[in-house]
A and B are shown apart, each in its own frame.
Chain A
């Protein structure tokens, strides 16, 4: 299954065709590093202002305004600062960062360099998940190539600015994609989230102000600097300018990675980009935002991909994973899978996440086994609410999203799984 990016004038990615080994020359032939050349002769603040004007927001899930985040790091009195690219792409059903790093690694490096220039950092790290060894390899080779060409390292492009990038491999924990857990793990500590505030912009890696951005966010920067904020705003909508990489999977005809302008509806993604349902099936539910996202029924799919409208309807864009389920799929099985995932990935620090997931897992297990009672569905909902309301970090808070949304839209499926005692008795009789 190949992934394909939309390529036309409306793309933020400098890519024309697939290449086994992306080369610097190839990237430069598409205007790569023009933005850096241009920016390095100007005031670093210009970069921040352009990104703020473009309305770029974090693509990792939290959608924090990128310009503002950079400003916060830049304004810090501490002279030692870091830029970290969060490439711990662990959200199930998400494969966009892998694509960027495998095919347009230099666009990421150029974006990181621009970000470093903007915030005044001399050192950057790309935290790549352990499960992407070939991606780590590509990035290492790309760093070497960029350094050899004077695009990284000392006095980049002959200017005063110096910036080095190093690859840091994760060790397999999903939670380490959470920015503060990522920092802890880089510092050699247990991969557990930290209290916020202080935010990484104030107190990040080794206690220094740190800009942490997702791969896609950083990869957006060079094109915005090249073509300007108003060009970027011509893509997408006024609420959510630009494009978003959507990892489309499940029972659609053409699964893959698509660059989708904001403002597209989820139905359009499935019908137009994904070519509709595979083998003429119909949509039962769509999981948006990965394991930490929501499960919605078909009638919610006319919602547009925009931060505001999605938030209003309780839809989490997250990392941009869209998993489509046809009528043959069981919601319970899907939710079970997600709960098991979180149960495995929880760090165990806080009670609601650790114990809430444990209980949720048991209840869903009993539901699937036909051993649960109706009252347990209410308990499940209550445990999930406690997780959402009170968990320490985003993982625990989001772990309940698929549960709560599936209970909202597909409660019947839960209730049908609960047999009353007579039915259960009868069923035992039959099987005996």
Chain B
């Protein structure tokens, strides 16, 4: 049992679990202490100092994020001294922060701006000292604005300790401190995987997704264009957060209605192509097992993960499934199969993806992704951008009635829905692989050992006497561990799922702000709820997919599949040398 401690909070004796920080203890008792550098899923940094409180017996104020509560401690969170200090620190931050709130991408959801409002900052008395450094717009995914950085270190922390990519870190000292890639390089010049976790934890507008809303408006406004949209599984359980709903709210029907209101000619679903992915990837796995191919086979849905392995483990690329990600399968099929069926010229088609992911913006621009003869996916909007474009269009999400996706590329199964959660692709694949191999119906289709937020999950499945060991890892730090094992020949897995972002796509870098592990869990639960409620829960039972194979592709791993749905990877190396 947890030991309890008692301490005095603003004159009242309260009881909390031992080991809690003053900040967390106070929040449990209805006292919200301001914070900027603090993030519930990160190590304590105590950089920003806006969370300072008075502790009796201490000469200076202490940071409440880093100070554990002890028995008998006397804490004040509100006094003239604290108010003056916090207001002064906020003022100091503002004096070094561009006063561009009205035109900032974070207008409305900036943590610094909320604090300014709460603390009644009406004037910045100091001299404005913000720099006018150029923005890093070197990648299709992210924009880094060093001028807005408040040096809280949250991005560097997620980059180092969660993703372990080590791209962003703190350089120089004193007023020269900056959080950026090595040697002043741009994100495109380093091994950044564009997962966007930095953007997801940034409290201000210092790093954010590249905004592609204008591109999408241009397509929608063009009467010549037939604009279709696909929505990733993770978006349906997070978009409602952009309109004030609780994390984990399922909003599939409203999402479809909203997209129709925006003017898309067809509202399709990435879940359809996720089912196709299972057909291709599942058969690829079976083929590798039968023919003695490279094992373990590793999933290839997550473009951040793909870029990561291309940079960091290029000698392990043969382990990757050659199957494209659902987004790219969709794009290739939309401009071929669908275009033909609908009698539309592919050049007149425009494919938009709504993704929880910033790396998808990079993926769609990869030169490999033009198998339809055109760029297969034209534009990617993150969940956050979707929230913004809907607001621009005046779509009142709360009063929309639910609508259905269009056929055929909007028809999907529960197996596809769970792609958005860590372990989901694995589970979806096993549902199909089991039945293909054994010819028997799966007794229990829920593979719970691969579910949940544990970093690396392992399971074993019996395929007609053959025991197959599988693993699912999420977050690149965990992926790295698995890859080290595979590289050392110490992994006895047959099939491995890797997702770049913690929690899988529902925790993607393009998801609504406020994504924490607690929120990730809620979104994951919602996806399993979506799966449970669908009549069909195995990809190979998707009738639209059956039709696709019958009318167009022939068979999984067949010629057309090979041409449209599979791809190649490249060695990107760690360092890009100049010259």
Binding site for B on A (CB under 8 A): 173, 175, 190, 195, 343-352, 354-359, 362-363, 375, 379, 382-383, 385-386, 388-392, 397
B172 and A348 contacting across the interface, CB-CB below 8 Å:
yes
Q: How far is the CB of A131 from chain B (nearest CB, A)?
A: 17
Q: How far is the CA of A386 from the CA of B87 in the complex (A)?
A: 9
Q: Which of A190, A344, A375, A382 has the most chain B CB within a 10 Å cutoff?
A: A382
B93 and A379 contacting across the interface, CB-CB below 8 Å:
no
Q: Which of A375, A390, A391, A392 has the most chain B CB within a 10 Å cutoff?
A: A390
B177 and A348 contacting across the interface, CB-CB below 8 Å:
yes
B174 and A344 contacting across the interface, CB-CB below 8 Å:
yes
Q: How far is the CA of A195 from the CA of B64 in the complex (A)?
A: 12
Specify which chain B residues have a CB less than 8 angstroms from the CB of A350 in the assembled complex: 46-49
Could you give 9 example pairs across A and B, Cβ below 8 Å?
A350-B47, A351-B48, A352-B49, A355-B89, A355-B129, A358-B96, A359-B95, A383-B88, A390-B60
Take A362-B127, A362-B129 as given contacts and tell me if A386 and B172 are in contact as well, using a CB distance cutoff of 8 Å: no
Q: How far is the CA of A390 from the CA of B62 in the complex (A)?
A: 7
Q: How far is the CB of B176 from chain A (nearest CB, A)?
A: 7
Q: How far is the CA of A76 from the CA of B88 in the complex (A)?
A: 41
Interface residue B488 (Cβ < 8 Å from any Cβ of A) = no
Q: How far is the CA of A392 from the CA of B65 in the complex (A)?
A: 12
B60 and A355 contacting across the interface, CB-CB below 8 Å:
no
Specify which chain B residues have a CB less than 8 angstroms from the CB of A359 in the assembled complex: 92, 95, 126-127, 129
Main secondary structure, interface of A, reads helix
Q: How far is the CB of A180 from chain B (nearest CB, A)?
A: 12
Residues from 28 to 81 in B contacting A, C-beta threshold 8 Å: 44, 46-50, 52, 60-61, 63, 66, 81
A386 and B47 contacting across the interface, CB-CB below 8 Å:
no
Binding site for A on B (CB under 8 A): 44, 46-50, 52, 60-61, 63, 66, 81, 84-85, 88-89, 92-93, 95-96, 125-127, 129, 150-151, 170, 172-177
A379 and B92 contacting across the interface, CB-CB below 8 Å:
no
Specify which chain A residues have a CB less than 8 angstroms from the CB of B46 in the assembled complex: 195, 350, 392
B89 and A390 contacting across the interface, CB-CB below 8 Å:
yes
Q: Which of A359, A362, A363, A385 has the most chain B CB within a 10 Å cutoff?
A: A359
Q: How far is the CA of A390 from the CA of B89 in the complex (A)?
A: 9
A351 and B92 contacting across the interface, CB-CB below 8 Å:
yes
A352 and B175 contacting across the interface, CB-CB below 8 Å:
no
Supply 13 further A-B pairs (C-beta < 8 A) apart from A349-B151, A350-B46.
A343-B175, A346-B175, A349-B170, A350-B47, A350-B49, A351-B93, A351-B151, A352-B88, A355-B92, A358-B129, A362-B126, A362-B129, A390-B63
A355 and B174 contacting across the interface, CB-CB below 8 Å:
no
Specify which chain A residues have a CB less than 8 angstroms from the CB of B126 in the assembled complex: 355, 359, 362, 379, 383
Residue of A nearest to B54 (CB): A389
Q: How far is the CA of A140 from the CA of B129 in the complex (A)?
A: 46
**Cβ contact of B151, chosen from A173, A348, A375, A383, cutoff 8 A:** A348
A351 and B49 contacting across the interface, CB-CB below 8 Å:
yes
Take A195-B66, A350-B47 as given contacts and tell me if A343 and B174 are in contact as well, using a CB distance cutoff of 8 Å: yes
Residue of B nearest to A375 (CB): B125
Specify which chain A residues have a CB less than 8 angstroms from the CB of B66 in the assembled complex: 195
Residue of A nearest to B126 (CB): A359
Q: How far is the CA of A349 from the CA of B178 in the complex (A)?
A: 10
A389 and B52 contacting across the interface, CB-CB below 8 Å:
yes
B125 and A379 contacting across the interface, CB-CB below 8 Å:
yes
Q: How far is the CA of A348 from the CA of B169 in the complex (A)?
A: 13
**Cβ contact of A356, chosen from B63, B92, B170, B173, cutoff 8 A:** B92
Specify which chain A residues have a CB less than 8 angstroms from the CB of B60 in the assembled complex: 388-391, 397
Q: How far is the CA of A346 from the CA of B44 in the complex (A)?
A: 20
Q: How far is the CA of A31 from the CA of B206 in the complex (A)?
A: 64
Specify which chain A residues have a CB less than 8 angstroms from the CB of B48 in the assembled complex: 350-351
Residue of A nearest to B52 (CB): A390
Q: How far is the CB of B576 from chain A (nearest CB, A)?
A: 24
**Cβ contact of A355, chosen from B63, B93, B170, B173, cutoff 8 A:** B93
Q: How far is the CA of A214 from the CA of B95 in the complex (A)?
A: 38
Residue of B nearest to A394 (CB): B60
Q: How far is the CB of A344 from chain B (nearest CB, A)?
A: 6
Q: How far is the CB of B540 from chain A (nearest CB, A)?
A: 53
B52 and A355 contacting across the interface, CB-CB below 8 Å:
no
Q: How far is the CA of A379 from the CA of B87 in the complex (A)?
A: 12
Q: How far is the CB of A199 from chain B (nearest CB, A)?
A: 14
Take A195-B66, A348-B174, A359-B127 as given contacts and tell me if A385 and B47 are in contact as well, using a CB distance cutoff of 8 Å: no
Specify which chain B residues have a CB less than 8 angstroms from the CB of A352 in the assembled complex: 49, 88-89, 92
Specify which chain A residues have a CB less than 8 angstroms from the CB of B81 in the assembled complex: 389
B85 and A390 contacting across the interface, CB-CB below 8 Å:
yes
Specify which chain B residues have a CB less than 8 angstroms from the CB of A195 in the assembled complex: 44, 46, 66
Specify which chain A residues have a CB less than 8 angstroms from the CB of B52 in the assembled complex: 389-390
Specify which chain A residues have a CB less than 8 angstroms from the CB of B95 in the assembled complex: 355, 359
Take A354-B151, A359-B126, A379-B125 as given contacts and tell me if A386 and B173 are in contact as well, using a CB distance cutoff of 8 Å: no
Specify which chain A residues have a CB less than 8 angstroms from the CB of B63 in the assembled complex: 390, 392
A347 and B85 contacting across the interface, CB-CB below 8 Å:
no
B175 and A348 contacting across the interface, CB-CB below 8 Å:
yes
B129 and A389 contacting across the interface, CB-CB below 8 Å:
no
Q: How far is the CB of A190 from chain B (nearest CB, A)?
A: 7
Q: How far is the CB of B37 from chain A (nearest CB, A)?
A: 9
**Cβ contact of A386, chosen from B85, B150, B170, B176, cutoff 8 A:** B85
Specify which chain A residues have a CB less than 8 angstroms from the CB of B176 in the assembled complex: 348
Specify which chain A residues have a CB less than 8 angstroms from the CB of B61 in the assembled complex: 389-390
A386 and B89 contacting across the interface, CB-CB below 8 Å:
yes
Q: How far is the CA of A351 from the CA of B177 in the complex (A)?
A: 11
Specify which chain B residues have a CB less than 8 angstroms from the CB of A349 in the assembled complex: 47, 151, 170, 177
B89 and A190 contacting across the interface, CB-CB below 8 Å:
no
**Cβ contact of A351, chosen from B47, B170, B173, cutoff 8 A:** B47
Q: How far is the CA of A397 from the CA of B58 in the complex (A)?
A: 13
Q: How far is the CA of A349 from the CA of B126 in the complex (A)?
A: 20
Q: How far is the CA of A350 from the CA of B45 in the complex (A)?
A: 9
Q: How far is the CA of A392 from the CA of B93 in the complex (A)?
A: 16
B89 and A346 contacting across the interface, CB-CB below 8 Å:
no
Q: How far is the CA of A351 from the CA of B97 in the complex (A)?
A: 12
Specify which chain B residues have a CB less than 8 angstroms from the CB of A351 in the assembled complex: 47-50, 89, 92-93, 150-151
Take A347-B173, A347-B174, A390-B52 as given contacts and tell me if A385 and B85 are in contact as well, using a CB distance cutoff of 8 Å: yes
Q: How far is the CA of A346 from the CA of B92 in the complex (A)?
A: 16
Specify which chain A residues have a CB less than 8 angstroms from the CB of B177 in the assembled complex: 347-349, 354
Specify which chain B residues have a CB less than 8 angstroms from the CB of A344 in the assembled complex: 174
B173 and A358 contacting across the interface, CB-CB below 8 Å:
no
Q: How far is the CA of A302 from the CA of B100 in the complex (A)?
A: 54
Q: Which of B50, B63, B88, B175 has the most chain A CB within a 10 Å cutoff?
A: B88
Q: How far is the CB of B99 from chain A (nearest CB, A)?
A: 15
Residue of B nearest to A344 (CB): B174
Q: How far is the CA of A397 from the CA of B66 in the complex (A)?
A: 17
A346 and B170 contacting across the interface, CB-CB below 8 Å:
no
B96 and A355 contacting across the interface, CB-CB below 8 Å:
yes
Q: How far is the CB of A363 from chain B (nearest CB, A)?
A: 8
Q: How far is the CA of A282 from the CA of B88 in the complex (A)?
A: 39
Q: How far is the CA of A109 from the CA of B565 in the complex (A)?
A: 72
B88 and A386 contacting across the interface, CB-CB below 8 Å:
yes
Specify which chain A residues have a CB less than 8 angstroms from the CB of B174 in the assembled complex: 343-348, 354, 357
Q: How far is the CA of A41 from the CA of B85 in the complex (A)?
A: 55
Specify which chain A residues have a CB less than 8 angstroms from the CB of B150 in the assembled complex: 351
**Cβ contact of A346, chosen from B47, B84, B88, B173, cutoff 8 A:** B173
Residue of B nearest to A175 (CB): B173
Residue of B nearest to A386 (CB): B88
B49 and A382 contacting across the interface, CB-CB below 8 Å:
no
Specify which chain A residues have a CB less than 8 angstroms from the CB of B89 in the assembled complex: 351-352, 355, 386, 390
B49 and A391 contacting across the interface, CB-CB below 8 Å:
yes
Q: How far is the CA of A354 from the CA of B85 in the complex (A)?
A: 15
Residue of B nearest to A393 (CB): B46
Specify which chain A residues have a CB less than 8 angstroms from the CB of B84 in the assembled complex: 382, 385-386
Specify which chain B residues have a CB less than 8 angstroms from the CB of A392 in the assembled complex: 46-47, 49, 63
Specify which chain B residues have a CB less than 8 angstroms from the CB of A348 in the assembled complex: 151, 170, 172-177
Q: How far is the CA of A221 from the CA of B111 in the complex (A)?
A: 52
Q: How far is the CA of A50 from the CA of B126 in the complex (A)?
A: 53
Q: How far is the CB of A84 from chain B (nearest CB, A)?
A: 22
